[in-house]
Amino acid sequence: IANVFPYFATEHAEININPVEKLDSLKPKVIEDSIINILKAIAQKKQILLIIEDLQWIDRMSLSLLNSILIHLDSRYILFLGTLRHGFDREIDKFITLLSRYNRLERVEINRFSPQEVMGFLSQSLPDHRITAEYHKKICKETEGNPFFLIEFLNMIREKGNFQLMT
């Protein structure tokens, strides 16, 4: 581990690592194994929460590393929380299938709000504002029923006090 991450060398050991001379030790599998070993060492002392948002953008090497971490570490000591949009690629689908096979996945699907749910959300959040049908339609189109975008929209309204801020 110390060859890849000098911080993990003993306190009194002299660290003389020349990455050019140690190219073999920097191969992806060695780095992957080192990261897994580091996480195993940490997991012996503390539970780990690993959060990665927007998994649909993850590259293949990072996905492979994440896969190895979640399969090789005891699930009692690591909790992974990932977010993912609909329409992900085949590699993500394989990742989800593998985690399911090892009973390492609990899937929680959060759907977008319907236009009626958007109106209800806005009405409850802004009880003193009257929202016209035209503006409601515009809000639905702009936010696509995404709760995060709706909350950001509401924060903008509260901050600026103006409904006409949408483009």
pLDDT digits (tens, 9 = 90+) for 111-167: 899 999 999 998 898 888 788 888 889 999 999 999 889 999 888 887 887 665 554
Residue tagged 């399911």 (tokens):
100
Q: Is the pLDDT of residue 102 over 60?
A: yes
Question: 4-18, 29-43, 47-61: which has the minimum mean pLDDT?
Answer: 4-18
| pLDDT per residue as tens digits for the range 57-85 | 999 989 999 999 999 888 889 999 999 88
Question: In 73-154, at which residue ranges do the beta strands (DSSP E only) sit?
Answer: 78-82
Report in angstroms the alpha-carbon separations of 60 from 52, 69, 91, 101: 14, 14, 8, 20
H or E stretch at 48: strand 48-52
How far is residue 8's CA from residue 6's CA, in Å, rounded to a whole number? 5
Residue 19: is its pLDDT beyond 60? Answer: no
Q: Identify the band that residue 13 occupies on the pLDDT scale cut at 50, 70 and 90.
A: low
The pLDDT, as a whole number, for residue 132 is: 85
Distance CA(69)–CA(79), nearest Å, equals 11
